[in-house]
């Protein structure tokens, strides 16, 4: 003998569970996408900062070499300290080299500010 059901609400919780689980999966995917974008941005920022520092270090090293060559002539010192000398190598080439090692591309590189300031 089968028992008759009084109410027709049997199994009504299942659609609610499916909706909740779907919502949680959507939130997990959204958090993952935002986290991945944040990590990629941080990596790009780190590569750009390292490339700018490499350009500045290369310029500094070239200025130090100029100063070492002119150490006996103090009249040239101020011009070297002001960065008013022609550098033999382009510091942006070193920035591009380091960016390549960090699997990044240099979109632009130029001197920014005092002689050892570079923006990459």
In 1-120, alpha helices (H) = 13-69, 77-81, 91-101
**Nearest C-alpha neighbor of 94 from the set 49, 47, 44, 52:** 52
Pick the residue with more confidence: 41 or 114? 41
For residues 51 and 120, is the Cβ–Cβ distance under 8 A?
yes
Each residue's pLDDT tens digit, 87-117:
888 888 888 888 888 888 888 887 777 656 7
User: Which residue, 74, 76, 112, 70, is CA-closest to 91?
Assistant: 112
Confidence grade of residue 3 (pLDDT, cut at 50, 70, 90): low
């Amino acid at each position: 003998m089968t028992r008759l059901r009084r109410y027709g609400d049997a199994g009504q919780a299942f659609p609610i569970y499916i909706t909740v689980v779907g919502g949680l999966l959507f939130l997990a995917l959204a958090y993952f996408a935002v986290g991945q974008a944040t990590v990629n941005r941080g990596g790009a920022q780190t590569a750009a900062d390292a490339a700018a520092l490499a350009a500045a270090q290369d310029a500094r090293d070239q200025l130090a070499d100029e100063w070492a060559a002119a150490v006996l002539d103090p009249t040239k010192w101020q011009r070297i300290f002001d960065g008013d000398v022609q550098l033999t190598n382009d510091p942006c080439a070193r920035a591009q080299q380091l960016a390549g090692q960090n699997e990044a591309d240099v979109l632009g590189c130029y001197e920014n500010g005092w002689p050892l300031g570079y923006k990459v």
